[in-house]
Amino acid sequence: VHGGPNAPAFPECSKAHAFKKLLFSLCFFHSVIQERKKFGPLGWNVRYEFNDTDLEVSQQWLKMLLAEKDEVPWESLRYMIGEINYGGRVTDGWDRRALLCMLERYY
């Protein structure tokens, strides 16, 4: 997520303050859905292979959407991250519902 201790803080994003807060939420969301795998069928009905690529792609979408819009595009963020990036792997309806409900708490 960062380039090391000497890297400038979020140089590629014009809205650095919003980006930092939304990136933290995204990382926290990613860690929550990763940890749910440890609980077997209580966490997810089907075993999904969420990985760091999902987080990286979501981070790129976050940067792009913030750069394009004047205000934070909440609906677009929820759709791109929840329905496409992470939700694209989810095949069970109840799991999809749980994923989107969790994402809505962060975005």
pLDDT tens track for 46-101: 999 999 999 999 999 999 999 998 899 999 999 999 999 999 999 999 999 999 99
Q: Which structure tokens are listed for 54? A: 């999902």
Write b or e for each residue in 25-57: b if 16 or more Cβ atoms lie within 10 A of its Cβ, otherwise e. Answer: bbeebbeebbebeeeeeebbeeebebeeebbee
- Which amino acid does the sequence have at 59? Q
Are 80 and 65 spatial neighbours (Cβ–Cβ below 8 Å)?
yes
Confidence of residue 13 (pLDDT cuts 50, 70, 90): low
For residue 58, what pLDDT is reported? 94
